[in-house]
Amino acid sequence: MHIGVPLETHAGETRVAATPETIKKLIAQGHQVTVQSGAGVKASLPDHVYEVVGANIGDAATVFGADLVLKVVAPDDAELALMKSGAVLVGMLNPFCNETIARMAARGITAFALEAAPRTSRAQSLDVLSSQANIAGYKAVMLGANHYPRFMPMLMTAAGTVKAARVLILGAGVAGLQAIATAKRLGAVIEASDVRPAVKEQIESLGAKFVDVPFETDEERECAQGVGGYARPMPASWMQRQAGAVHERAKQADIVITTALIPGRKAPTLLHEATVEEMKPGSVVIDLAAAQGGNCPLTEVDQVVVKHGVTIVGYSNLAALVPADASALYARNLLDFLKLVIDKEGHFHLNLEDDIVAACLMCRDGNVVRTNG
């Protein structure tokens, strides 16, 4: 099979969908791989490191004209127009957007969105949400430390003692837990909250304090169980009590990192303007939900703004700020997914009885397979 690896052209994207490590394995399986010139440069992978493992270097028309195209994000219209009908596309294709799926279907291709894979043990090695959220959680702390005008750890010096920074983390999924671990390594004092009570133990095992917002009704308890491991929107009563708890904790915090997401919906508001107004001057908010509307209404997507003396960072693609490792992990996820759709003879094989393959399939031979509510 001819496999194409394009240069990602979306603004701010630095990652590449295949690395020399994964391409070497694909070539060993008998495939021919063409990498678009410059595709890996931002991830510290110049063309020659691909050539060393046997890849060809080509132009956009050649890579998008392949039988199988490996992408990071969904192709734009011009890129889709270069794909041939019947080709297969794999990437983070935004499965919640019907319009994107329809555009791909109209081109006559078969497309898989890896973000739609189930969060099961079997799917762990191809879980792109986890691999990229892990990086985002780490980078959020690095950005927080960078914008914070003080030290993170407690220091006792001849010139006096410096207090440890207080970090508040809202949402303790993959990104939030990595943010706790990273802030801990830098010596911060950490508090964290999540709607799912099951994460209390994980938060505490990483050395942070759990900010508890107890449930008062059966509806609140039931909503907090989530669905498929994901959070659901919580009733207004609980959100109001959570806002009260966050208000008190945020006033004491130096850095607030928000990561709360609800799949397919606008991110919940957790840090209200009235709370930001009372935060300490010089404190920092890193809003990882910026691309989904933000957990703070003052967040501006892909901007760093100062509001009420607080620096609010709204970068929408934190994984792209760690391009080499983000690409390495993403490329391995993708290679693992390919094992499910390429048979031993090296041909594309669609097994819809495989729950991972079925969940990721967006469109098939030009027909839309997945539609969202």
Active site (annotated) includes residue 265: no
Which lies closer to ligand NAD via its Cβ, residue 7 or residue 199?
199
Task: Single out the catalytic residue among 107, 127, 138, 316.
Answer: 127
Burial 350-363 (b: 16+ CB within 10 A, else e): eeeeeebbebbbbb
Q: Which is nearer to ligand NAD, 121 or 372 (CB)?
A: 121
- Catalytic annotation present for 124: yes
127 is catalytic: yes
Comparing CB distances to ligand NAD, the nearer of 53 and 116 is 116
CB 58 within 8 A of CB 37: yes
Please report the DSSP string for 289-321 in residue order. TGGGT-SSTT--TT-EEEETTEEEE--S-GGGG
Tokens of 337: 């997914």
**Token pair of 181 as six digits:** 């671990």
Segment interacting with ligand NAD, rule: CB under 6 A, options 88-96, 104-112, 161-169, 255-263: 255-263
Under the binding rule (CB under 6 A), the answer on residue 359 touching ligand NAD is no
Torsion angles phi and psi, residue 57, rounded to 5: -105, 130
The verdict on whether 130 is a catalytic residue reads yes
Quick check: 124 binds ligand NAD (CB under 6 A)? yes
Alpha helices in the chain (DSSP H): 20-28, 47-52, 60-64, 77-82, 98-106, 128-147, 174-185, 200-205, 218-224, 236-252, 273-277, 323-341, 355-360
Shortest CB 72 distance to ligand NAD, Å: 18
Which of 92, 231, 250, 271 lies at the binding interface for ligand NAD (CB under 6 A)? 231
Backbone angles phi, psi at 369, to 5 degrees: -105, -40
245's tokens: 């708890």
Annotated catalytic residue, options 36, 50, 107, 130: 130
**Residue of 262, 291, 321, 368 that binds ligand NAD (CB under 6 A):** 262
Q: What is the nearest approach in angstroms of ligand NAD to the Cβ of residue 258?
A: 9
* Residues of span 84-123 touching ligand NAD by CB under 6 A: 119-121, 123
**122: how many CB neighbours lie within 10 A of its CB?**
12
259-269 per-residue burial string, b: 16 or more CB within 10 A, e: under 16: bbbbbeeebbb
From residue 266 to residue 305, the character string flagging contacts with ligand NAD as x (rule: CB under 6 A) and all else as - is: --x-x-----------------------------------
Closest residue to bound ligand NAD by CB: 173
Rg (C-alpha) for the chain, rounded Å, is: 22
Task: Locate 342 and state its tokens.
Answer: 């390429």
- Closer CB to ligand NAD, 119 or 247, in the complex: 119
d(CA 85, CA 336): 25
Q: Which is nearer to ligand NAD, 68 or 123 (CB)?
A: 123
Q: What's the min distance (Å) between Cβ of 239 and ligand NAD? A: 6
Q: Which of 124, 205, 225, 237 is catalytic?
A: 124
Residues 136-195 that bind ligand NAD (CB under 6 A): 170-176, 193-195
Q: What separation in angstroms does the CA of 58 have from each of 10, 62, 67, 335? A: 19, 6, 15, 21
Q: Which of 44, 103, 119, 241 is catalytic?
A: 119
Which CB sits closer to ligand NAD, 172 or 318?
A: 172
The residue (of 10 and 119) whose beta carbon lies closer to ligand NAD is: 119
Q: Which residues are catalytic?
A: 119, 124, 127, 130, 230
Q: Which residues bind ligand NAD (CB under 6 A)?
A: 119-121, 123-124, 127, 129-130, 133, 170-176, 193-196, 229-231, 234, 259-263, 268, 270
